[in-house]
């Protein structure tokens, strides 16, 4: 059990550090205490990459729909590739989706 607690503690520290960095670069705060939920709509990610490489994303979809969020995340990931990141270094768009209320078939 101790190893798992150490891993969770390390993840919490990593998330906190990543959040501090994103907020410092974008000059915007996370809207939610949950790291994943704060990035789910992709707006903060698009703002982040535009701060790192101004103008790389021309239009951010600010509608509050899951499709808009997925669109923003895909635009962010394409911009990451444009600046030299490899696909293996990036996450999958579905990694940010909230699966807590998704219906599953057994």
Residue 102 lies in a domain: no
- Confirm whether 101 is domain-assigned: no
Average pLDDT of every residue of the chain: 89
- pLDDT bin (cut points 50, 70, 90) of residue 8 is confident
Q: Tell me if 61 sits within 8 A of 72, measured CB to CB.
A: yes
Classify residue 53: in a domain, yes or no. yes
Tell me the per-residue pLDDT of 64-73, one tens digit each, with 9 for 90 and over. Answer: 898 999 999 9
Q: How far is CA 62 from CA 17, 25, 37, 72, in A?
A: 26, 20, 15, 9
**List of E strands, the chain:** none
**104 lies in some domain:** no
Domain carrying residue 37:
2-96
Q: What is the CATH number of the domain that holds 22?
A: 1.10.418.10
CA 92 → CA 2, 16, 27, 40, 87, distances in Å?
30, 21, 25, 12, 9
Number of domains in the chain: 1
Residue 106 lies in a domain: no
Residue 105 lies in a domain: no
The two tokens of residue 106 are: 């057994």
Q: Is 103 inside any structural domain? A: no
Residue 74 to residue 66: CA distance in whole angstroms: 12
Over the stretch 78-106, which tens digit does the pLDDT of each residue have? 999 999 999 999 999 988 877 666 555 65
């Amino acid at each position: 059990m101790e190893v798992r607690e150490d891993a969770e503690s390390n993840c919490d520290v990593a998330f906190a550090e990543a959040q501090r960095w994103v907020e410092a670069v974008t000059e915007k705060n996370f809207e939610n205490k949950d790291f994943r939920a704060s990035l789910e709509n992709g707006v903060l990610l698009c703002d982040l990459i535009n701060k790192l490489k101004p103008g790389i994303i021309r239009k951010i979809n600010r509608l509050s729909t899951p499709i808009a969020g997925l669109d923003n995340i895909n635009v962010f990931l394409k911009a990451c590739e444009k600046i030299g990141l490899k696909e293996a270094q990036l996450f999958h768009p579905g990694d940010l989706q909230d699966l807590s209320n998704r219906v599953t078939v057994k």
